[in-house]
Amino acid sequence: MRVLSGIQPTGRFHWGNYFGAIRQYIDLQHAHDGLYFIANLHALTTIREPELLRKLSRDAALDLLALGLDPDKATLFLQSDVPEVSQLCWILMTGTPLGLLERCHAYKEKKAKGLSADAGLFTYPVLMAADILAYDANWVPVGQDQVQHIEVCRDIATSFNHHFGEVFVLPEARVLDSAAKVPGIDGEKMSKSYDNTISMFEDPKAIRKKIMRIQTDSRPMESPKDPETDHLYQLFSLFAPPEKVAEMAVLYRRGGFGYGEIKKALADAAEQYFKPSQDRRAELETRPDTVTDILVAGAQRARSKAAEVLARVESACGIRAPK
């Protein structure tokens, strides 16, 4: 199966990105043909500083490689390095009903908040459809909040196929592990939007300081607590081996502990968990040409497939003479 997903470089990746998506990208690369791109074209809807966008895009590549994405098993590239996708996007827009885009939640939510929504946000789902359809992707790993965009992609592809023949592969959403909802330092879902994130690659001292700031309830130390409803325990469960998690659950149910004790255990477990990735990232930073070569090679592979699909599309709709 061909698996495709993109991730926006709108800020440094954090624990929520890793456990919610990136870890599963890495798992899927071993058994499937994986294409993963850094969605810098999508990021233009929010980032207006060119140097910042370049830096965040580079950081995204370094982070993904350090976390275990293997360029020998998966294709990693910059979205903007495959111009065929932008060409395909225009063709798809010519047949996409306005009503379909007006119903998309990202656009509706921004309008409901009274915020200005530009054409980039409005047509975001069409570019996302082009991202997917350009590579004949079978599976698209997404969070539950992105399933609607896969349905829009299927609608657009189905309409094109109806008019011009069976040109596009219809992708399926592969919903990412909903259990990996990672709480932030305020107890809400970890998100750059809430400014409550912890990055894998921050200075270890800064990470510990953030962990010590995680909000907890005011129950007395001696009170037993339900581990399943506690976000410190949820975070600890992501990092620690099963036997340590079981021991922690017993401690919660027994009571008689301080949250400072749990926070220290969490900091120790997180530091140990990400230490190999931090070491790999530091080593990659000493070889910038290697990262550039990986992205260039990935873009070449991606363009080869996208060019094949674009030629098929252009021939079907009359832009290019059929072979």
Residues with catalytic function: 110, 189, 192
Measured distance CA(121)–CA(59) in Å, rounded: 24
What residues pair up with 36 in beta bridges, in sequence order? 5, 76
248: number of CA atoms within 13 Å, CB side? 27
Q: How far is CA 320 from CA 108, 126, 132, 169, in A?
A: 37, 22, 22, 20
Measured distance CA(18)–CA(118) in Å, rounded: 29
Q: Compute φ and ψ for 36, nearest 5 degrees.
A: -130, 130
Q: How far is CA 217 from CA 211, 223, 244, 258, 322, in A?
A: 15, 11, 23, 11, 67
Cα dihedral 306, 297, 62, 196 in deg (nearest 10): 0
In 50-198, alpha helices (H) = 50-67, 83-93, 98-102, 105-112, 119-122, 124-133, 147-164
CB atoms within 10 A of CB 311: 15
The answer to whether 232 and 187 are in contact (CB under 8 A) is: no
